[in-house]
């Protein structure tokens, strides 16, 4: 558009529906939301889709599929398959009938899919290590409220959860005090109890991993301010200060209700 030799040329883009078979693999942390995000666009664009929900939370996907069948969706347009990912994932990724693979989950699995899928389309929505950055002129009350909510909603098991708090040294003490105060007020317990703010993580192994990461940071010099209490799969909202970038707690995605404060 900007060069003289392009003036007489016309360029346009045309989007065509896939009209094929989609393989969808969804995570545990939003069992209905993520399934709907895969199925609805497929149905709307007249594709066929095979969904493998997380083996930890398959029932929501079954329920959603049954609702669609009741509404008149032909079963040929939607099938749900469950089982051990080690046994069935390879078929969902490499079967020549698959035209597009859509996956939401961890980075390592996303990389593995990309390496094995061959020449076909893919949508990979992977994890992250999201920070909140608090500068010296920030509204600390608002920032601390957002930080706590962002760390603990859904027990911190969201790819968009706040996983690192980068705080300017000049306001770090005040900000940290507010985060601790609001964390103590954040109730947690039985996820079936509507009066609590936060329930368990997905399983005991996930809770143990959070505990392990926090204990490792403490051993490396970080300071625990509140939390780090585990009872089975229930892990308390946790605030840990003086965390440094080399600590695995913040170097990698912990995926739990932990507020690591990093001063700069």
pLDDT tens for 9-64 read: 777 888 777 789 999 999 999 999 999 999 999 999 999 999 999 999 999 999 99
The model's pTM: 0.88
Q: What is the pLDDT of residue 5?
A: 66
Q: Give the domain CATH number at 245.
A: 3.40.309.10
Q: Could you report the per-residue pLDDT of 222-261, keeping only the tens digit for each?
A: 999 999 999 999 999 999 999 999 999 999 999 999 999 9
Residues 165 and 76 in one domain: no
Length of the chain: 264
Mean pLDDT, to the nearest integer, of 99-126?
Answer: 95
Same domain as 195, residue 83: no
pLDDT value of position 10: 77
Number of domains in the chain: 2
125 is annotated as an active-site residue: yes
Q: 42: domain range?
A: 21-125
Q: Using one digit for the tens of pLDDT, what is the confidence trace for 161-210?
A: 999 999 999 999 999 999 999 999 999 999 999 999 999 999 999 999 99
**97, 143: one domain:** no
Q: Which of 55, 91, 125, 211 is catalytic?
A: 125
**CATH number of the domain where residue 60 is located:** 3.40.605.10
pLDDT tens digits, one per residue of 82-101: 988 888 989 999 999 999 99
Domain end, chosen from 125, 156, 176, is at 125
């Amino acid at each position: 558009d900007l060069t003289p030799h392009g003036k007489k040329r016309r360029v346009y883009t045309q989007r065509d529906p896939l009209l094929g078979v989609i393989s969808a693999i969804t995570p545990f942390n939003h069992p209905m939301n993520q399934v709907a995000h895969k199925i609805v666009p497929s149905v709307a664009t007249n594709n066929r889709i095979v969904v493998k929900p997380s083996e930890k939370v398959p029932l929501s996907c079954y329920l959603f599929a049954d609702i669609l069948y009741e509404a008149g969706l032909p079963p040929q347009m939607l099938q749900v398959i469950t089982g051990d990912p080690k046994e069935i994932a390879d078929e969902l990724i490499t079967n020549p009938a698959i035209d597009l693979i859509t996956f939401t989950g961890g980075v390592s699995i996303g990389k593995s899919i990309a390496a094995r899928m061959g020449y076909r389309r893919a949508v990979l929505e992977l994890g992250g290590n999201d920070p909140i950055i608090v500068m010296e002129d920030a509204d600390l009350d608002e920032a601390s409220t957002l930080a706590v909510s962002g760390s603990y909603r859904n027990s911190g098991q969201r790819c968009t959860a706040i996983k690192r708090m980068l705080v300017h040294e000049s306001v770090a003490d005040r900000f940290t005090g507010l985060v601790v105060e609001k964390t103590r007020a954040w109730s947690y317990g039985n996820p079936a109890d509507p009066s609590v703010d936060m329930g368990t993580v997905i399983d005991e192994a996930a809770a143990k991993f959070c505990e392990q990461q926090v204990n490792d940071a403490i051993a490396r010099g970080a300071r625990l301010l509140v939390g780090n209490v585990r009872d089975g799969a229930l892990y308390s909202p946790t605030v840990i200060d003086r965390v440094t970038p080399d600590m695995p707690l913040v170097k990698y995605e912990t995926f739990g209700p932990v507020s690591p404060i990093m001063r700069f």
